[in-house]
Structure 1
Amino acid sequence: MTQPESTHEAADRCPGGLALLITDMISLWDFPDADKLLPAAAAIAPRLAALRQRCHEAGVPVIYANDNRGRWRSDFRELVDKARQAGGPGAHIVEQLAPHTDDYFLLKPKHSAFFATPLELLLADLGIRQIIVTGVSSDQCVLSTVSDARMRNIDALVPQDCIGTQGDERNAAAIRHFSEVLGVDTAASPGLQLRPQPPEPSA
């Protein structure tokens, strides 16, 4: 069933400071070493889908950030359709995580979802002060995004059951880095408190 077009503008969706960012989970998986990363993405997809549903129910905005991989005429909706039509594990991920009409999306040219994208402006427009960063890969795009968020004084949460990379050992190392080096909360997604916090009073 086709969902109706959303009429929400960013300013209408201010949740009081929290958003979910889903990184690089919608893909054709046709890049080098994709076969090593796809199993991790497939493994976290059900947990990420459950978290996304909780965010929708709590009024927490959901933002998709995907690589354009140098394809400057890329279109996110077209990518969703192509990934679904490609079949296999990638299509199953799309079936679980296909964006709703009220979700936001952006295409990124490099690892970080902040680099050369409107993400910072979108977060400001939504009144976001904290982001839940999820997806793949934990030790590259997720890590770069979290580092850039911190430089912008945006707090980041990285639920360890909703990130993955090429192999369990690498992913465990990434989780330790988030927790021990960056001091980022890596508690599993079921424990996340998603009730939006009230905006800070004006000075």
Structure 2
Amino acid sequence: MKTATSRKVLLLVDFINPMQFDGAEDLAPAAIEAATATAALKRRYRREGWSTIYVNDNFGQWRSNFHKLLTECRRARGPARTLARLLAPDDDDLMVLKPRHSGFYATPLQLLLEQLGARELAITGLAADFCVKCTAMDAYVRGYRVWVPEDCTAAESEERKRDALDWIALTLKARISPSTGGRRGA
């Protein structure tokens, strides 16, 4: 079966997340806000015919798969369940598990994006100052146009998020703006 083309692609980084790490309690409220905004953006991308790819940490579980992780998060209590409910994948969404911080490192993401004919990436997710930043950097060096919808990202503090988004805008020439419009950065 041939993969459809999609010049624009929405990447959801680490939203399907058991939220079991130091700092999760600080990240959780902002993560839920970001997931709510991302769900609306995802619906818009879907209406416009663009692809969505979940790029998720494997949390060191080398026998894991995305659907098992999703099931575990749906069964959990608290923010993990809320995130999974807000951003449950549709049947035609794509999934990539990553072993480290960047969605590109040691994953098939680059090949998948090439097959889709992607040129522009909207990078959303957790956390803006780590995995989103690393994924955006790797997208930039591969020649993709990068947009980071600021309301679709979260970090453990607003200051860490703002610092990361400022760095992404300045260094990667990425567009930083709300998912609903407006413009900040390049």
The TM-score by the shorter chain falls in which range? over 0.9
- RMSD between superposed Cα atoms in Å: 1.3
User: Over alpha carbons, which structure has the higher Rg?
Assistant: 1
Indicate the SS of the match to 2:176.
coil
- Report the counterpart of residue 19 of structure 1 in structure 2: 9
Per-residue CA deviation, residues 50-96 of structure 1 (Å, 9 max, x unaligned), is 00001111110000011112110011011111101112122111111
Unaligned runs of 5+ in 2: none
Unaligned runs of 5+ in 1: 1-7, 193-203
1:125 corresponds, among 115, 136, 156, to: 115
- Partners of 1:124 and 1:135 lie apart in 2 by 22
- Report the counterpart of residue 46 of structure 2 in structure 1: 56
Query: TM-score normalized by structure 2?
Result: 0.93
Q: Is the 8 A contact 1:113 1:119 kept in 2?
A: yes
Indicate the SS of the match to 1:133.
strand
Higher fraction of strand: 2
State, as a whole percentage, how many aligned pairs show the same letter.
Answer: 39
2:98 corresponds, among 98, 105, 108, to: 108
2:146 corresponds, among 156, 179, 182, to: 156
- Report the counterpart of residue 138 of structure 1 in structure 2: 128
Q: How does 1:38-77 map to 2 (within 5 A)?
A: 38-77=28-67
- Report the counterpart of residue 137 of structure 2 in structure 1: 147
- Partners of 1:120 and 1:164 lie apart in 2 by 24
Q: Is the 8 A contact 2:19 2:79 kept in 1?
A: no
1:36 offset after TM fit, Å? 2.1
Tell me how many residue pairs correspond in the alignment. 182
Q: Is the 8 A contact 1:42 1:90 kept in 2?
A: no
Query: TM-score normalized by structure 1?
Result: 0.86
